[in-house]
A and B are shown apart, each in its own frame.
Chain A
Amino acid sequence: MELGVGIMSPAEVEFLAEKELVTIFPNFSHGKIYLISGDVGPFVPSLPVQVPLWLAVNLKQRQKCRLLPLDWMNKDVLEEKKQEEYNNKFFTAMPSPHYREITQLLMSIAPMDIPHAEDIQTLIKDIWDIRMAKLRSSIDAFIKGEETHAKLDHLTLMEINTVRPLLTNTLNKLYQLRQVSSFGTSESQEW
């Protein structure tokens, strides 16, 4: 079986996350920018404007703007979320489908713009760990229980991406084992 086909790398997932919108305060003025994905701007110094994450990253790196932290990038909200995730047997809805990637990106480029940046990063990692542990247990239950389908709500792309190659290949192998098994037994009876 050839590996590496159809598997996304974390960098590609991050690329998708960069389409999410964030609010920035520019420190320059510029007219509207017309992009394929939509118009951005106009930029007026100190007036909030919504831009895609990739643009925010670029502007921030050139020190052309200040970031407004996202609503959920807040210690209390995340503490609550973590508790909820911990108490709930199933996956809970995340504030953003790309929470992990966005946190990672913003923390690396603009930790000064986010209050309690360190704590938030730790909280996001904790939530991630809880969710991954849940994911692994449910995969194990899925394999052991000979289920044919599973429904997992609120999983994010990055989470799915870390287990996808292993899960699909395992199911393939299991299918082969089972198919040959049933084939083998029926044949031996014919003997």
Chain B
Amino acid sequence: MSYTPSSGRRTNYSSRSMEEYFSMDDILATEVRIPCRFQLPVYKLGSLNPSSQSPDLLPGTKLELPLWLAQALQSRHIVNVELPKSYRETYREILSADATMVDLHDLGPYFYHIGLYLLNFPYADTEEISKMLTQTFKNRFRKVMDASQHTLQEETSSWTFRLDMLEVELFNIGQKAFLEFQEWQARKMEKICTSGMVINHKKRKRAAMDNIV
């Protein structure tokens, strides 16, 4: 999951790098719907708007479009992208008050990822959003780090359910190092254990045998 515009030339945000093209996180993140207002009439697509009977989409219609579509339409000046609720000033104030208490999974779950995309749209408060993103990340980092360094495998979900996907990724990285250390401390790595594939294979075989009998 990464968003890296090449710094030299002015990147067109509708063309994404190959790395992002294949990134599952990027695909999932750009599925999120954001509010858009149509600037031009779109003929024969009135069925997209369930609240009107007209066969065409008229200028001024408000629809929620997936981010990937909104980007493409915005660059052709067909729609005007509006700021999603969770990035507006009210939420920014909540996040600046105490970012650690906010359930970012609820607001996101790709809060940072989408936030970075939104920076490319010509909003008036782009600067505040970008500041808010880095500040929120920094303020929440301590919690993610501490949790990842003392959470055992079984308790993982109780920590990650309130985290953004980016934070979950970092949490898993930190936890992996911690669990490896725990294993080393318990001298578990000296033993060679059966691989999961073999165990499951036997089970499947047994199940197949039972069916025959």
Contacts and interface: CB of A to CB of B under 8 A. Distances in A.
Contacts of B149: 132, 136, 162-163
B51 interface: no
B interface, how many residues as a size bin?
A: 35 or more
B95 to A, nearest CB: 14
B82 to A, nearest CB: 15
A38 B173 CA distance: 39
Contacts of B177: 7, 161-166
B173 A169 contact: yes
A104 to B, nearest CB: 7
A177 B137 contact: yes
Interface string A137-167: 0011001100000000000001001111110
A173 interface: yes
A28 interface: no
Given A104-B185, A139-B145, A140-B145, A169 B170 contact: yes
B116 A140 contact: no
B170 A173 contact: yes
A1 B145 CA distance: 19
B138 interface: yes
A187 B141 CA distance: 28
Contact of B141 (A7, A140, A180): A140
A165 B176 contact: yes
B180 A10 contact: yes
A30 interface: no
Contacts, number: 116
B130 A3 contact: no
Residue among B5, B119, B139, B176 with most chain A CB within 10 A: B119
B134 interface: yes
A interface, how many residues as a size bin?
A: 35 or more
Contact of A188 (B5, B122, B169): B122
Contact of B173 (A11, A165, A183): A165
B133 interface: yes
A174 B126 contact: no
A140 B120 contact: no
A9 B180 contact: yes
B143 to A, nearest CB: 10
Contacts of B138: 143-144, 174
Contact of A177 (B112, B121, B181): B112
A180 B176 contact: no
25 contacts: A9-B180, A9-B189, A10-B181, A10-B185, A11-B189, A132-B149, A139-B145, A143-B138, A144-B141, A158-B181, A161-B181, A162-B149, A165-B177, A166-B173, A176-B2, A177-B112, A178-B134, A179-B7, A180-B119, A181-B133, A184-B116, A185-B126, A188-B119, A188-B120, A188-B122
Interface of B: 1-5, 7, 10, 112, 116, 119-123, 126-127, 130-131, 133-134, 137-139, 141-142, 145-146, 148-149, 166, 169-170, 173-174, 176-178, 180-181, 183-185, 187, 189
3 nearest CB pairs, A to B: A184-B119, A181-B130, A10-B184
